């Protein structure tokens, strides 16, 4: 029994210290260095087909689906899949990337337009 009491007391102390730390430091926030790029899809084609973002910082891609059917934003090189509802919007969070080109497509309509994210 004394061991269980010690564990409970120790766990409570750790939680109290963590709560105190959050009061002074604050909760983690999205970095001010996050880049946001926007793209839309209409008639199953991306507009624009090329989007540009800075290298070595996280990226948020905001996707606006202007079609009356859902679409799936997908990229093998970005390791992301996101369903965007018909006439809806969604965001995709991307890790910081090295310079290069990263292709993406609508997985529900693969025979139509593709796009590319250029990271500089």
| End-to-end C-alpha distance for the chain, whole angstroms | 60
Q: Where are the domains of the chain?
A: 35-119
SS3 state at 36 = strand
pLDDT at residue 108, rounded to an integer: 95
Mean pLDDT, the chain, rounded, equals 84
Q: Which tens digits make up the pLDDT trace of 47-64?
A: 999 999 999 999 999 999
Q: Which tens digits make up the pLDDT trace of 86-117?
A: 999 999 999 999 999 999 999 999 988 799 99
pTM value?
Answer: 0.72
CATH topology of domain 35-119: Immunoglobulin-like (2.60.40)
- Give the distance, in angstroms, between the CA of residue 66 and the centroid of all CA atoms in the same chain: 20
């Amino acid at each position: 029994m004394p061991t269980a009491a010690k564990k409970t007391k120790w766990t409570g102390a750790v939680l109290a210290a963590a709560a105190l730390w959050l009061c002074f430091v604050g909760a983690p926030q999205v970095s001010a260095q996050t880049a946001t790029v926007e793209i839309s899809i209409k008639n199953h084609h991306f507009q624009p087909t090329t989007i540009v973002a800075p290298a070595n910082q996280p990226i948020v891609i905001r996707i606006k689906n202007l079609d009356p059917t859902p679409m799936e934003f997908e990229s093998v090189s970005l390791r992301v899949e996101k369903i965007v509802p018909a006439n809806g919007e969604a965001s995709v969070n991307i890790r910081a990337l090295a310079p290069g080109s990263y292709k993406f497509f609508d997985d529900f309509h693969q025979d139509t337009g593709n796009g590319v994210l250029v990271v500089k």
